[in-house]
Amino acid sequence: MGEHLIKMPDVGEGIAEAELVEWHVKVGDLVREDALLAAVMTDKATVEIPSPVDGEVLWLGADIGDVVAIGSPLIRLKTGDEEGAASGHDTSDKAPEAPSRPKDIEAQADGAVKTSEAVVEKQAREAPRPQPVEAPQSPPVRVHRPSGPRMEGDKPVASPAVRLRAHEAGIDLRQVPGTGPAGRITHEDLDAFLTHGPQVAKAQGLVQDTSVQHVKVIGLRRKIAEKMAVAKSRIPHITYVEEVDVTALEDLRTTLNATKRADRPKLTLLPFLMRAMVKAIADQPHLNAIYDDEAGVVHQHGGVHIGIATQTGSGLMVPIVRHAEARDIWDCATELTRLSEAAKAGLATREELSGSTITITSLGAMGGIVTTPVINYPEVAIIGVNKIMVRPVWDGSTFIPRKMMNLSSSFDHRIIDGWDAAVFVQRIKTLLETPAMIFVEA
Amino acid sequence: MKDISCKLLVIGAGPGGYVCAIRAGQLGIDTVIVEERKPGGTCLNVGCIPSKALIHAAEEYDRIAHLSSGKNPLGITTTKPELDLSQTIAWKDTIVGRLNSGVSGLLKRSKVKMVQGRARFRDGKTVEVETETGRQIIRAENVVIATGSAPVELPSLPFGGTVISSTEALSLTAVPEQLVVVGGGYIGLELGTAFAKMGAKVTVVEAQARILPQYDAELTRPVFKRLQALGIDVMTRAKAKGVAKAGNALLVETESGSEVSLATDKILVTIGRRPVTQGWGMEELVLDMDGPFIRMDEKCQTSMRGIYAIGDVTGEPMLAHRAMAQGEMVAEIIAGHKRVWDKRAIPAVCFTDPEIVAVGLTPDEAQKSGSEARIGHFPFSANGRAMTKLGEEGFVRVVARADNHLLLGIQAVGQGVSELSAAFGLAIEMGARLEDIAGTIHAHPTQGEAFQESALKSLGRELHI
C-alpha cells in the first residue's frame, strides 16, 4: 500500500497562491485516475485538479475558501498497489505520516504536480467542458419552507406517529410548517421545529424576520471584493459624465445590421465605442496604460486590450478583447460575443481574463443615467456606458427628439488630469456623434 | 366483604372498557373492571360478532339455495339446503363463548381484577357492586364509565312477545315465516337481509325517506337493489303505530296517511340505540351532559375530575372500534402519558349485502366543509376479481381536496369491501394524497385495485376503464 501526496499545482505564471473553491471528494472516497478532486481559483480563472492515480482519499489539506500557496500539500491518497509509486518511489514501507522522509514526499509530489499541470494545460487548450465558477456547496441546510397558509380550522396533515410525538413534546402541530405533499408534516419537519423553534411558523400577516445568514465571502466574490477595495483605496478617481447624441450612430448600426452578411455578428453599440476608443487613444496613449504605483512606472501599451465588464451567474468578470486596434468593427463584435458567452458559461481562460489596458463597463438597458465606474486596477481609465433614451434636444429653433446616451467615465487622477480626461471623452463623443469619422483616416 | 382500593376502576367490560383495562394493566396500573354480564359487551355478546355469525350462515344458506335453483352460471348443481337455526345459534354461541373467555384471559394476563355484578356510584370515588356473594365496595382514584348503549324502544312497540330487539333476533331458534323490521338503519338491514336469505318474508318499515339515511343515495343504491332481489319490501316514510290486537300484525301508517296492517310473526325494532345512563347511580355524580350522552373532552375526561367516559355512552358514532381507541387512550392518560384524541377518521362498516364502508367525508360533506372536492369513482364491474366472484355490483369512491389532492374521504359499496376499511383508514390517517394511492402497487387481482383505480381516475389517468 502506498500513499500519494498531491500539492497545489502551479496553475500559471507568477501565481503564488490559489483559493480552494470546491472539493469534489471527501475523506474516505475512492477515486479513479483522472477523477476530479478539487477546484482552485486564481485571478478569476478556475482550475480543476484531477487525480493522477487511483486511490482512497486519506486527508484533505484545506477548507473551502482557504488560500493555499502553490506547492502546499493539498490531498493525500492511499493507493492500492505499486502504482502508488508511479513517480518511482518505493512507498510500501512508508508510514502514512512520515515527515522523517520529506525528500521522498517532495519528489513524489513533484510528479503529481506535473501530471496535474499537464491536464490543466490540456483543458485550457481544448476548453473541453464547462467549469463554471461555482459557490462551494455548503452542507444542505433544511429550508424552512412553510406550506402556505393553513386555513382556519384545517387539521394539520401528519401521520399518527408524528402527531403523537408532537403532542408528547407539547407542540401544537398547527404551528409547524409541513414540507411534505399537501403540506404534510414529516418527522423531519417536527425535528426542525424542535431544533429551531417557531420562528417562521406564522403563515399569515407581516412577521419580523430576525434570522441572519452568515455567507462566507469566497471564490470569485472575494476576488471581486479585494480588487474593488484596492482600486478604490489606491486610486483617486475622477469621474466625468458627458452626453452623446447617438442618433446617427444608431441609424448606421441599424442599417449595418439590416444589410450585413449572414455570417457577420449582430452589431451592438460597444464595437463602435471600442473603435472610437482606439482612435482617441492614438492621440492620448497615456490613457491606455498600466500604472505600477509601487515602482512608480506607467506602462503605456501600444496594443489596446479592452476589458469588458461582464455580469455572470457567479459575479462580475472582465474578459478581454485583445488588440482592438487591429480588429475591424465586425471582428470586435465577434470577439466580444465569444468572450462574454465564454465568461458567462465559465469557459473563459485565465489569459482571456487578464492583461487588459482599459475597460468598458456597460449595463445596457439597465445602464441608468449616470454611474461612477470603479477603475479596473491597475489600469488608469474606465468608460461607462449609460442607457440610450430619446430626449428632446433644442436645435436652435425647436425641440427635436434625439437618441441620447451618457458616458460616465472614471480616470486615475494621479496620472490623468481633468483636462486630459475631458479631451479624451470629448474626442470619443465627436467620433460617436459623427460615426463616419470612426472609419475614415484623418 | 373487604373493600377494594385501586388506581383505576372501569365500569363495563365492553370493547371500550376491557381494552382500557387491558392497556392499564399492561402499564402497571392497579385496575379493577366491573361487569354485570359476560365480558365483551354488546359487541361481542349481542352485537357485531353474533350478527356476523348469523349473516355468514345466512349467506352460505342463500348461496347454496341459489345454486340448487339451477340458475347459476358456474355449472354447479346441488340439492336444496336445509337450515336448522337452533344449530346455527349454538355455533354462534360457541364463538361468543370463545371470545368471552379470550377477553377474560387477556384481562387476567394484564393482572386486571374482574368483579361481576352491577356497579353503582356512591360518590365520585366510590362504587358499590352487588355481586353474587354480597356487596363489594370499590374505591378508586380514577373511574372510567363504559356502560355502553341499549336498543331504543318505541313507545308504541314495547319489547316483549312478538316485538323483539336485535338481542332476541340473534337468539331465535327458528326462522320466522314473516318478519317486519322497524327501522331501516344498518342493524335492521343486516338482520333483515340475513333472515330474508334464510327464508323469511321480510318487510322493512322506515320512517325517513330512504333506508340507511346516514349514507348518500349513490352508496345505498346497490344495497336497495339487492333487498328487492331478495324479495324484501321496503316501506319508506312509514310509521309503525303498534301491534294489532291479535298480536300477529303490525299497524303501519303509510306515506299517504292510510293505515295498513302487516301480518307478521316477529316485529324486530331497530330504530337506534341509546346510551346507558341509568341504573348505575349517575344521579350521585354531577356530570355535564351532551344531549342524552355524557359530555367528555378530547381526553375523554368528564366534568368531574378523575372520572372518564368512553364508548357509546359518550355519543356517536356508536362503534366498538371508537370505544376501543378511547379506552386505550384513557388508560395511557391515567398512566401519565400525554395523549389526546386526534383521530382523523373512524371507519364505519355496514354488513349489508353488498357491504358498505365509509371513512371520512362524503362528497356532500366535503362540499359543505368548504373545500372544493375532487371525486374519483371506480366500479367493480371493471374489476377482474369482482367479476370472478360474481360480485360486480358497487364501486370505490375517493374524495380529495381539489387544491392539494389530500384525501378527505373514501367510500365503497360491494361484496366483501369491509376488509378494504383498513386501507381506507390508513390512507386518511397518514394524510395520503391521491398520488400516494395511485402510486402504490395494489395486488392483482384483488378488489383493492379499485381503490387505486379510483385515485387514478380522479387524477384523470385511469387505466382500466
What CATH number should be reported for the domain holding residue A377? Answer: 3.30.559.10
pLDDT digits (tens, 9 = 90+) for A58-84: 888 888 878 888 888 888 888 865 444
Is pLDDT larger for residue A9 or for residue B291? B291
Which cell numbers hold the place of B344?
382523523
pLDDT digits (tens, 9 = 90+) for B201-210: 999 999 999 9
Nearest to B339 among A151, A167, A180 (CB): A167
- The confidence band for A13, taking pLDDT boundaries of 50, 70 and 90, is low
The CA radius of gyration of chain B, in Å to the nearest whole number, is 24
Q: What is the mean pLDDT of residues B380-409?
A: 95
Query: What whole-number distance in Å separates Cα of residue B208 and Cα of residue B189?
Result: 14
Same domain, A78 and A149: no
Q: What is the mean pLDDT of residues A90-99?
A: 42
Q: What is the mean pLDDT of residues A326-337?
A: 93
Name the residue range of residue A53's domain. Answer: 2-126
Tell me whether A174 touches chain B (CB under 8 Å): no
Q: Is-contact B407 B400, C-beta < 8 A?
A: yes
DSSP states of A302-324 as a string? SS--EEEEEEETTEEE--EE--G
Question: Which residue shows C-alpha cell 349517575?
Answer: B282
Residue of A nearest to B402 (CA): A182
pLDDT at A27: 84
Tell me whether A372 touches chain B (CB under 8 Å): no
Can you name the residues that pair with B44 across neighbouring β-strands? Answer: none
Contact B430 A155 (CB under 8 A): no
Domain boundary among A77, A96, A126: A126
Question: Which residue shows C-alpha cell 452626453?
Answer: A243
Q: Find the angle CA(B182)-CA(B186)-CA(B190) to the nearest 5 degrees.
A: 85
Q: Find the angle CA(A178)-CA(A179)-CA(A184) to the nearest 5 degrees.
A: 50
Residue A296 lies in a domain: yes
The answer to whether the Cα torsion of B190, B193, B198, B203 is positive or negative is positive
Contact A159 B342 (CB under 8 A): no
Residue A132 lies in a domain: no
Contact A170 B339 (CB under 8 A): no
Can you name the residues that pair with B284 across neighbouring β-strands? Answer: none
Phi, psi of A119 (to 5 degrees): -65, -40
Q: What is the CATH number of the domain that holds A166?
A: 4.10.320.10
Q: Is-contact B349 B186, C-beta < 8 A?
A: no
* Strand B134-145 with B4-11, pairing: parallel
pLDDT at A200: 52
Q: What is the mean pLDDT of residues A6-23?
A: 77
Q: What is the mean pLDDT of residues A172-184?
A: 87
Same domain, A186 and A251: no
* Average pLDDT value over all residues in chain A: 81
Q: Is-contact B309 B302, C-beta < 8 A?
A: yes
ipTM: 0.71
pLDDT at A55: 84
Distance from CA of A207 to the nearest CA of B (A): 26
- The confidence band for A44, taking pLDDT boundaries of 50, 70 and 90, is low
Residue of A nearest to B338 (CA): A168
Same domain, A297 and A404: yes
Question: Which residue shows C-alpha cell 473563459?
Answer: A348
Can you name the residues that pair with B396 across neighbouring β-strands? Answer: B378, B412
10 Å Cβ neighbour count for B298? 10
Query: What whole-number distance in Å separates Cα of residue A46 and Cα of residue A220?
Result: 9
Contact A159 B431 (CB under 8 A): yes
Torsion-angle region of B462 (φ positive above 0: left; ψ -120 to 50: alpha; else: beta)? beta
Whether the predicted pLDDT of B234 surpasses 90: yes
* Strand B163-164 with B266-269, pairing: parallel
pLDDT at B437: 95
Q: What domains appear along chain B, each with residue ranges and CATH number?
A: 4-46+89-151+274-334 (3.50.50.60), 163-271 (3.50.50.60), 348-458 (3.30.390.30)
10 Å Cβ neighbour count for A90? 11
Q: What is the mean pLDDT of residues A146-160?
A: 70
Same domain, A401 and A268: yes
Residue A85 lies in a domain: yes
Q: How many contacts (CB atoms, under 8 Å) link A and B? A: 34
pLDDT at A132: 44
Can you name the residues that pair with A391 across neighbouring β-strands? Answer: A402
Contact A182 B339 (CB under 8 A): no
Tell me whether B333 touches chain A (CB under 8 Å): no
Whether the predicted pLDDT of B216 surpasses 70: yes
Same domain, A267 and A378: yes
Query: What whole-number distance in Å separates Cα of residue B310 and Cα of residue B331?
Result: 11
Burial class (CB in 10 A: 0-12, 13-18, 19+), A37: buried
Which cell numbers hold the place of A376?
479596473
Same domain, A342 and A385: yes
The answer to whether the Cα torsion of B227, B232, B238, B242 is positive or negative is negative
Which residues between 115 and 154 in chain A have a beta carbon less than 8 angstroms from any beta carbon of chain B? 151
Residue A102 lies in a domain: yes
Give me the catalytic one of B337, B377, B405, B444: B444
Same domain, A14 and A153: no
- The confidence band for A130, taking pLDDT boundaries of 50, 70 and 90, is very low
Residue A209 lies in a domain: no
Question: Which residue shows C-alpha cell 475591424?
Answer: A328
Give me the catalytic one of A144, A286, A323, A413: A413
Same domain, A149 and A56: no
Q: Which residues of B touch A168 (CB under 8 A)?
A: 337-338
Q: Shortest CA distance to B253 belongs to which of B269, B235, B267?
A: B235
Whether the predicted pLDDT of A199 surpasses 60: no
Q: Is-contact B41 B15, C-beta < 8 A?
A: yes
Q: Is-contact A185 A157, C-beta < 8 A?
A: yes
Query: What whole-number distance in Å separates Cα of residue B377 and Cα of residue B397?
Result: 4
- The confidence band for B1, taking pLDDT boundaries of 50, 70 and 90, is confident
Q: What is the CATH number of the domain that holds A30?
A: 2.40.50.100
Domain boundary among A126, A154, A176: A126
Distance from CA of B339 to the nearest CA of A (A): 7
Those residues whose C-beta lies under 8 Å from the C-beta of residue A122, and which sit 6 or more positions away, are: none
* Average pLDDT value over all residues in chain B: 95
Which residues between 404 and 443 in chain B have a beta carbon less than 8 angstroms from any beta carbon of chain A? 404-406, 429-431, 433, 435-436
Contact B404 A182 (CB under 8 A): yes
Query: What whole-number distance in Å separates Cα of residue B314 and Cα of residue B275?
Result: 7
Which residues between 176 and 215 in chain A have a beta carbon less than 8 angstroms from any beta carbon of chain B? 180-184
Q: Is-contact A76 A70, C-beta < 8 A?
A: no
Whether the predicted pLDDT of A285 surpasses 70: yes
Whether the predicted pLDDT of A428 surpasses 50: yes
Same domain, A48 and A175: no
Nearest to A181 among B337, B370, B435 (CB): B435
Which cell numbers hold the place of A273?
465605442
DSSP states of A2-23 as a string? EEEEEE----STT--EEEEEEE
pLDDT at A139: 43
- Does an H or E element contain A296, and which? none
Which cell numbers hold the place of B225?
337493489
Which cell numbers hold the place of A349?
481562460
Phi, psi of B34 (to 5 degrees): -115, 130
Q: Which of A13-17, A185-189, B264-268 has the lowest mean pLDDT?
A: A13-17
Q: What is the mean pLDDT of residues A387-395?
A: 93
Residue A214 lies in a domain: no
Whether the predicted pLDDT of A111 surpasses 70: no
- The confidence band for B39, taking pLDDT boundaries of 50, 70 and 90, is very high
Q: Shortest CA distance to B195 belongs to which of B32, B54, B87?
A: B54
Contact A160 B430 (CB under 8 A): yes
**Which amino acid is it at A175?**
Q
pLDDT at B299: 97
> Annotated catalytic, A413?
yes
pLDDT at A424: 96
Q: Is-contact B186 B353, C-beta < 8 A?
A: no
The answer to whether the Cα torsion of B26, B27, B30, B32 is positive or negative is negative
Distance from CA of B403 to the nearest CA of A (A): 9
- The confidence band for A36, taking pLDDT boundaries of 50, 70 and 90, is confident
Q: Which residues of A touch B366 (CB under 8 A)?
A: none
Domain boundary among A96, A126, A156: A126
Residue A397 lies in a domain: yes
pLDDT at B293: 97
Query: What whole-number distance in Å separates Cα of residue A231 and Cα of residue A361?
Result: 15
Phi, psi of A224 (to 5 degrees): -60, -45
Whether the predicted pLDDT of B78 surpasses 80: yes
Tell me whether B374 touches chain A (CB under 8 Å): no
Q: What is the mean pLDDT of residues B236-247?
A: 90
Which cell numbers hold the place of A410?
472614471
Q: What is the mean pLDDT of residues B181-190?
A: 96
Whether the predicted pLDDT of A103 surpasses 60: no
The CA radius of gyration of chain A, in Å to the nearest whole number, is 29
Q: What is the mean pLDDT of residues B141-151?
A: 97
Same domain, A103 and A189: no
pLDDT at B311: 97
10 Å Cβ neighbour count for A394? 8
Same domain, A160 and A237: no
Which cell numbers hold the place of A93?
514501507
Burial class (CB in 10 A: 0-12, 13-18, 19+), A55: buried
pLDDT at A442: 64
Burial class (CB in 10 A: 0-12, 13-18, 19+), A302: exposed
Q: Which of A127-136, A200-209, B227-236, B404-413 has the lowest mean pLDDT?
A: A127-136
Number of domains chain A is built from: 3
Whether the predicted pLDDT of A420 surpasses 80: yes
Cβ-count burial B365-374 (b if 16+ within 10 Å, e if not): ebeeeebebb
3-state DSSP of chain B: CCCEEEEEEEECCCHHHHHHHHHHHHCCCCEEEEECCCCCHHHHHHCHHHHHHHHHHHHHHHHHHHHHCCCCCCCCCCCCCCCCHHHHHHHHHHHHHHHHHHHHHHHHHCCCEEEECEEEEEECCEEEEEECCEEEEEEEEEEEECCCEEECCECCECCECCEECHHHHCCCCCCCCEEEEECCCHHHHHHHHHHHHCCCEEEEECCCCCCCCCCCHHHHHHHHHHHHHCCCEEECCCEEEEECCCCCEEEEECCCCCEEEEECCEEEECCCEEECCCCCCHHHCCCCEECCEECCCCCCECCCCCEEECHHHHCCCCCHHHHHHHHHHHHHHHCCCCCCCCCCCCCEEECCCCEEEEEECCHHHHHHCCCCEEEEEEEHHHCHHHHHCCCCCEEEEEEEECCCCEEEEEEEEECCHHHHHHHHHHHHHCCCEHHHHHCCCCCCCCCCHHHHHHHHHHCCCCCCC
Residue A208 lies in a domain: no
Q: Give the number of C-alpha atoms closer than 13 A to the C-alpha of residue B430, restricted to the C-beta side.
A: 12
Same domain, A64 and A168: no
Percent of chain B at pLDDT > 90 equals 94
Contact B404 A181 (CB under 8 A): yes
Whether the predicted pLDDT of A220 surpasses 90: no
